[in-house]
Amino acid sequence: MDQTPEQPLVTGADPQAEATDLEALADLLGVLAYGSLTASIRMCVDADAAPGLSVKSALVGLAADEYRHYEAVIARMVALGIDHEAAMQPFVAPLASYHERTRPKTWLEGLVKAYVGEGIAKDFYGEVAKFVDADTRAVIHAALVRERQEDLVVDVVRTAMKTDPQVSGRLALWGRRLVGEALSQAQAVAVERDPLAMLLIGGADLAELGRMFGRLTDAHRARMARLGLDA
C-alpha cells in the first residue's frame, strides 16, 4: 500500500486536539469492530441456509476471519484505553438497518453479500489505515490479509450462473443494492458522527476524498467482474 505523509492520531501535542483525535479513533475502531462482529454473525446465519458442505464451510470460514478482525480491533481499543462497548454502540442501529435491508432471499445472495461486503470493508480498512497512528495501522493491515475462501465463492457463483443464466441478472441487481444500502447507511453515520467525518475529511482534502470513493468503486467493479457480473 502506498503511504502518504500523515500525522499520528493519538500522539498530538495539543491536549484538546488529542481528545478529539481519540474520539475520532474510537468512532473508527468502533465501526470497524461492530461491522466485523455483525458480518460474522450474518455470514453464519447465511451458512445455515447454504446447501452443501463446501459452501457452508467457506461461509463459516469467512465468519471466523471476521471474528479475528473484531478481536484484533477490540484489543487495540483496550490498549488505547477506549471503552470498546461504548465505541461500538453508535453503530448498532445503522448496521442492524443495513443487514435488515439486505437480508438475502437465497443462499447465493448470501454468498455474494459476504464476498462483496467483505471486499468493500477491506478496501475501506485499507483507505482509513492512512489516517491513523502506526500501531493502529498495523492492526488494520493485519485484518487485510486475503483469505483463501474467496476463490471458492467465485467458483460457486460462476457455476450457478452457468446452470441458470437468469441468475446473473438478479445477482448484478443485488450487488448494486448492497452498495446502495451500504452508502446510504454510511452517509447517515457521517451526519451523526462529527469526529469520524472530520477524521476522514480532515485527513485528506475533498479531492482526495473523491479519489478514495473512486478507488472503492473501481475495486467493487473489479470484484463483481470476477464473479462475471456487471457492477
Binding footprint of a second copy on the chain (CB under 8 A): 34, 37, 40-45, 47-48, 53-54, 56-57, 60-61, 63-64, 67-68, 70-71, 74, 85, 88-89, 92
Residue 88 or 204 with smaller CB distance to a second copy = 88
Output the smallest distance, CB 116 to a second copy, in A: 20
Residue 58 or 179 with smaller CB distance to a second copy = 58
Output the smallest distance, CB 90 to a second copy, in A: 12
Residue 6 or 67 with smaller CB distance to a second copy = 67
3-state secondary structure the chain: CCCCCCCCCCCCCCHHHHHHHHHHHHHHHHHHHHHHHHHHHHHHHHHHHCCCHHHHHHHHHHHHHHHHHHHHHHHHHHHCCCCHHHHHHHHHHHHHHHHHHCCCCCHHHHHHHHHHHHHHHHHHHHHHHHHCCHHHHHHHHHCCCCCCHHHHHHHHHHHHHHHCCHHHHHHHHHHHHHHHHHHHHHHHHHHHCHHHHHHHHHHCCHHHHHHHHHHHHHHHHHHHHHHCCCC
Output the smallest distance, CB 64 to a second copy, in A: 4
Output the smallest distance, CB 151 to a second copy, in A: 16
Residue 43 or 171 with smaller CB distance to a second copy = 43
Output the smallest distance, CB 48 to a second copy, in A: 5
Residue 7 or 54 with smaller CB distance to a second copy = 54
